[in-house]
Chains A and B, each alone.
Chain A
Amino acid sequence: MKTRLTLNQKAGLLSLGLFALILLVWYLATLPDAKVAAANVDPEYAALMGGGAASSASSFPTPVAMAQTVWERLSDPFYDNGPNDKGIGIQLAYSLARVLGGFFLAAAVAIPLGFAIGNSRVFYQAINPYVQLLKPISPLAWMPLALYTIKDASASAIFVIFICSLWPMLINTAHGVANVRRDWLDVARTLEVNPLRKAFRVILPAAAPTILTGMRISMGIAWLVIVAAEMLVGGTGIGYFVWNEWNNLSITNVLFAILMIGVVGMALDSIFGVLSKRVAYQE
């Protein structure tokens, strides 16, 4: 009996196989090397050194230790032991709040401005040099300036998210608006549609896929940047969590945080994936 696997099934099996391979390599790489017991070590000295137990605390964890940490952290995600020790759920919520705050502020500026730029060649050429100059600046380079002028660490983090989310959305909106098919605009003009109606009923739906792509890129960058920003300013958030565990040289917890950052980033991206499918159209 011979069953043919579908494409999805094949891909799924290959993914699982890769996962098993990674686990195996990881397991073999972290096997504890048999320690040669030194002959004449003072027992008190050995005790103070943690009897070799120390190396397991900060060296690379085994897959089993990692799974334990993931389970412990995820089974109690919302504990609050004071301002500097909160559960992973709370930390992620802080980061998400900052990202969304900065992101929507940027959207509120970038989309109307992009519309204006996309509609006017003069405006486009006037603004373009500024955009080209500011776009390649690493968002974190703004951090000292933000701290100096805003004088508030949390607001500075939001500002950094704002500034990094701004450019992809602005450029994509302008591009999308500028490239709406002439025929459709001509039809709108023939029908004497008023400008506001034209913007919302013709240009916006036509440019929506491009705008959404810009938003998707912006969100991706924002999520990358928030981790670094929070490591700098500290206090709360997933970036702070990474820094705090690094401070304890706990690689296991740092790895766990990396995993969480990946999961949340993937979730954010897939939300925009769904959204862009909904606004897509066939010409």
Chain B
Amino acid sequence: MSGFDNPFDPDTKLHRAGCSCGRHHSQADHEADMKNEDARVSRVVESAVMRGLFPDDQMRRNFLRAVGTGTAMAAISTFFPMGAAKALAAEKGKLEKTDLKIGFIPITCATPIIMAGPMGFYAREGLNVTLQKTAGWAVIRDKVQNKEYDASHMLSPMPLAMSLGLGSAKQAVDVASIQNINGQAITLSLKHKDKLNPKDWKGMKFGLPFDYSIHNLLLRYYLAEAGLDPDKDVELRMMPPPDMVANLRAGNIDGFLGPEPFNQRAVYEEVGFIHTLSRDLWDGHPCCAFGVQEGFYKQYPNTYAALFRAIASATDYAHKPENRKAIIEAIAPANYLNQPIPVLEQVMTGRFADGLGKVKNVPDRVDFDPFPWQSMAVWILTQLKRWNYIKGDIDYKMVAEEVFRATDARKRMAELGLKAPASNYMKHTIMGKVFDPTKPAEYLNSFAIKRT
């Protein structure tokens, strides 16, 4: 019996004939019938239930002949919630909302969200997405909270901060998937090319994109490992990435830990050099995320599912080095990143000029991986607590599991045939120090420089 057969028909043919599902006399009949999405979904569910109850076709036929179709349907519906099962399966069905507005910041971290537009990943899912370039992270936060954006590119600590009400009104915003891993760098002004050791950086000024950014947390971590107190020994200034390059040129800052392509842009403009890639601090660290309001996926589950599929497949596509060239061409124009192609190429291929006269080859300089590890969320929370952004006690595990939708992502990635890890937690190694997500409090206590 095929999944599309009427499972209550005792005379269903058991062998294929006519059309691809075997239920119609011709392929044309089949296609006409299959257009009715709801009918098709409910038929598939009924078939699945009947097949579960009667694995043997002969048994099913005998049962139906003996009690009659109507009785059989009624009898099965009494003990099996057929309606609920159909509703669940219909998720891949009708989209509640097809016109979506998604915000992004023009940096390479947003590659999957952006390229999914020009390369047709949204359209394939039946979504009509307007990608709205946004002036800054605070504007992104406000527009998501105002529901001007249905979903948005965010820094991965932002949904945690918003859900906890840090630096904004408290509103549940979740991480549907991670966008990029790695792909940031510490860039220093050329005048500091002899000060490679961070122990010599006392008194310097650094640019950062946002308080609730992985950049802030990584730079603080890095400085603290070198014995500098990031709140006392250096000055950290929040500014948009293009201002980082301009301020570096003007000498207002000594360096920055910023998103690409602005590190490479500083090299290209001959004002700075790449000191350390963020992958050398924490290989595989999360950077940007795809964030949605909790209300959105509750209100529009099918649209959310389609959106997730588009983003996850785009992320997987961006992960493959052979696709990077096509992606660069899609995202470089003024409508998206508005950046010179040679700069983007060096970022995306990992073969780049470091600003000090050397060509380096680091293929995983930036990478893309959608799975939102909850252990990453726990790490971010420990650091937010470490620098006193989170005041008071916090249940790391609970917040991480509420905000990072790892279980949901795994299920949906499996549906797409993408490999997802079996666990939501893993141990991470940051600058040689192992972080065990089951012991966040002990981890936090192990640091000498902290605000708690």
Residues of A contacting B339 in the complex (Cβ-Cβ under 8 angstroms):
248
- Contact A84/B359 with A153-B143, A153-B148 known, Cβ cut-off 8 Å: no
Q: Which of A83, A234, A247 touches B338 (beta carbons < 8 Å)?
A: A247
Residues of B contacting A196 in the complex (Cβ-Cβ under 8 angstroms):
none
Rounded to whole angstroms, the CA-CA distance of A14 and B269 in the bound complex is: 39
Rounded to whole angstroms, the CA-CA distance of A3 and B193 in the bound complex is: 66
Asked if residues A84 and B131 are in contact (CB atoms below 8 Å), the reply is yes
Asked if residues A85 and B340 are in contact (CB atoms below 8 Å), the reply is no
8 A Cβ contacts from B128-163 to A? 130-135, 139, 142-143, 146-148
Chain A residue nearest to B132 (CB atoms) is A83
8 A Cβ contacts from A148-166 to B? 148, 151-153
Rounded to whole angstroms, the CA-CA distance of A249 and B267 in the bound complex is: 13
- Give the dominant DSSP class at A's interface: helix
Residues of A contacting B359 in the complex (Cβ-Cβ under 8 angstroms):
42, 44-45, 48
Asked if residues A54 and B131 are in contact (CB atoms below 8 Å), the reply is no
Q: Which of A41, A232, A249 touches B265 (beta carbons < 8 Å)?
A: A249
The stretch among B14-22, B286-294, B328-336, B371-379 that forms the contact with chain A is B328-336
Asked if residues B335 and A82 are in contact (CB atoms below 8 Å), the reply is yes
The stretch among B206-214, B302-310, B350-358, B424-432 that forms the contact with chain A is B350-358
Q: Which of B135, B139, B245 touches A249 (beta carbons < 8 Å)?
A: B245
Q: Is B268 an interface residue (CB 8 A)?
A: yes
- Contact A244/B357 with A48-B346, A55-B270 known, Cβ cut-off 8 Å: no
Rounded to whole angstroms, the CA-CA distance of A243 and B242 in the bound complex is: 10
- Interchain Cβ contacts within 8 Å, total number: 97
Asked if residues A83 and B334 are in contact (CB atoms below 8 Å), the reply is no
Rounded to whole angstroms, the CA-CA distance of A41 and B270 in the bound complex is: 15
Asked if residues A81 and B139 are in contact (CB atoms below 8 Å), the reply is no
Asked if residues B139 and A233 are in contact (CB atoms below 8 Å), the reply is yes
A230 to chain B, nearest CB (A): 9
Residues of A contacting B139 in the complex (Cβ-Cβ under 8 angstroms):
153, 232-234
Q: Is A50 an interface residue (CB 8 A)?
A: yes
Rounded to whole angstroms, the CA-CA distance of A231 and B240 in the bound complex is: 12
Asked if residues A83 and B335 are in contact (CB atoms below 8 Å), the reply is yes
Residues of A contacting B133 in the complex (Cβ-Cβ under 8 angstroms):
83-84, 234-235, 244
Q: Which of A55, A57, A83, A234 touches B135 (beta carbons < 8 Å)?
A: A234
Rounded to whole angstroms, the CA-CA distance of A41 and B355 in the bound complex is: 12
8 A Cβ contacts from B188-242 to A? 240-242
Q: Which of B106, B132, B241, B357 touches A41 (beta carbons < 8 Å)?
A: B357
Q: Is A184 an interface residue (CB 8 A)?
A: no
Residues of B contacting A249 in the complex (Cβ-Cβ under 8 angstroms):
242, 245-246, 265, 269
A36 to chain B, nearest CB (A): 13
Chain B residue nearest to A247 (CB atoms) is B242
Write the A44-65 contact mask toward B (1 if CB under 8 angstroms, else 0). Answer: 1100111000110110000000
Q: Is A113 an interface residue (CB 8 A)?
A: no
Please classify how large the interface on chain B is, using the bins under 10, 10 to 19, 20 to 34, 35 or more: 35 or more
Rounded to whole angstroms, the CA-CA distance of A84 and B114 in the bound complex is: 12
- Contact A152/B148 with A45-B358, A54-B268, A249-B269 known, Cβ cut-off 8 Å: yes
8 A Cβ contacts from A10-56 to B? 41-42, 44-45, 48-50, 54-55
Chain B residue nearest to A248 (CB atoms) is B338
Q: Is A116 an interface residue (CB 8 A)?
A: no
Rounded to whole angstroms, the CA-CA distance of A234 and B152 in the bound complex is: 15
- Contact A85/B334 with A45-B357, A48-B342 known, Cβ cut-off 8 Å: yes
Rounded to whole angstroms, the CA-CA distance of A95 and B133 in the bound complex is: 17
Residues of B contacting A240 in the complex (Cβ-Cβ under 8 angstroms):
135
Write the A243-264 contact mask toward B (1 if CB under 8 angstroms, else 0). Answer: 1111111000000000000000
Q: Which of B241, B268, B334, B353 touches A81 (beta carbons < 8 Å)?
A: B334
Chain B residue nearest to A151 (CB atoms) is B146
Residues of A contacting B358 in the complex (Cβ-Cβ under 8 angstroms):
42, 45
- Contact A85/B148 with A235-B132, A247-B242 known, Cβ cut-off 8 Å: no
Q: Is A147 an interface residue (CB 8 A)?
A: yes
Q: Which of B135, B146, B147 touches A243 (beta carbons < 8 Å)?
A: B135
- Contact A84/B334 with A50-B342, A153-B139, A233-B139 known, Cβ cut-off 8 Å: yes
Rounded to whole angstroms, the CA-CA distance of A143 and B178 in the bound complex is: 31
Q: Which of B134, B147, B335, B340 touches A234 (beta carbons < 8 Å)?
A: B134
Asked if residues A48 and B338 are in contact (CB atoms below 8 Å), the reply is no
Asked if residues A233 and B135 are in contact (CB atoms below 8 Å), the reply is yes
Rounded to whole angstroms, the CA-CA distance of A49 and B267 in the bound complex is: 7
Chain B residue nearest to A46 (CB atoms) is B353
Rounded to whole angstroms, the CA-CA distance of A42 and B358 in the bound complex is: 8
Residue numbers of B with Cβ under 8 A of A are 106, 130-135, 139, 142-143, 146-148, 240-242, 245-246, 265, 267-270, 333-336, 338-340, 342, 346, 351-353, 357-359
Enumerate 28 A-B pairs (CB-CB under 8 Å) in ascending A order: A44-B359, A45-B357, A45-B359, A49-B267, A49-B268, A49-B353, A50-B268, A57-B340, A81-B335, A83-B132, A84-B133, A84-B334, A85-B333, A85-B335, A85-B338, A148-B142, A153-B139, A153-B142, A153-B143, A153-B146, A231-B135, A232-B139, A234-B135, A244-B133, A244-B338, A247-B106, A249-B245, A249-B265
Residue numbers of A with Cβ under 8 A of B are 41-42, 44-45, 48-50, 54-55, 57-58, 81-85, 147-148, 151-153, 231-235, 240, 243-249
